């Protein structure tokens, strides 16, 4: 979120390299580049209903896999005018691949499993959602 926020989206933000590596880092940088080039930024919704929940974790040596449920209510807006470009709330179920890099777990891959409009799907399941 910070790399895509005002005053300008920053694909070179060191924050990205603190949490992601490999293809995942490349994807995050590409997303920030697209936002910067479009003159857009992202901010939290108000009121905020966004959340991230982890359903399961599998660890094998220096790699791990997580099932993640994310309610995304972030607002994409035009920096020059403040006009909202997208304020859609969506729920996504992802599989995150992690790699242990220099003693720190970093996201190395992201696969979207399912997507729902609004607060739905895995967000409505029990805390240990079965995804």
CATH number of the domain where residue 78 is located: 3.10.450
Report pLDDT for 127. 64
Q: Which domain holds residue 109?
A: 2-124
Q: What does the pLDDT read at residue 130?
A: 57
DSSP state of 121: G
Name residue 40's beta-bridge partners. Answer: 78
- Classify residue 102 as left (phi > 0), alpha (psi -120 to 50) or beta: left
**What is the total count of domains within the chain?**
1
| Residue 27 pLDDT greater than 90, yes or no | yes
DSSP summary character for residue 84:
E
d(CA 93, CA 10): 26
64 within domain boundaries: yes
* Residue 129 included in any domain: no
Task: Please report whether residue 130 resides in a domain.
Answer: no
> Chain-centre distance of CA 5, in angstroms?
13
Domain contains 91: yes
Per residue in 31-89, pLDDT (tens digit) is: 999 999 999 999 999 999 999 999 888 999 999 999 999 999 999 999 999 999 999 99
Q: What is the pLDDT of residues 79-95, one digit of tens each?
A: 999 999 999 999 999 99
Average pLDDT in the 101-122 region?
Answer: 96
């Amino acid at each position: 979120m910070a790399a895509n926020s005002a005053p300008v989206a920053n694909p070179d933000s060191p924050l990205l390299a603190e949490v992601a590596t490999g293809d995942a880092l490349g994807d995050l940088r590409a997303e920030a580049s697209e936002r910067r080039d479009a003159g857009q930024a992202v901010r939290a919704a108000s009121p905020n209903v966004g959340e991230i929940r982890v359903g399961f974790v599998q660890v094998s040596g220096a790699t791990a896999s997580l099932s993640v449920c994310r309610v995304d209510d972030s607002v994409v807006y035009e920096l020059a005018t403040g006009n909202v470009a997208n304020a859609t709330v969506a729920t996504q179920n992802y599989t995150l691949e992690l790699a242990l890099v220099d003693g720190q777990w970093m996201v190395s891959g992201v696969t979207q499993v399912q997507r729902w409009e609004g607060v739905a799907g895995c967000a409505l399941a029990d805390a240990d959602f079965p995804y």
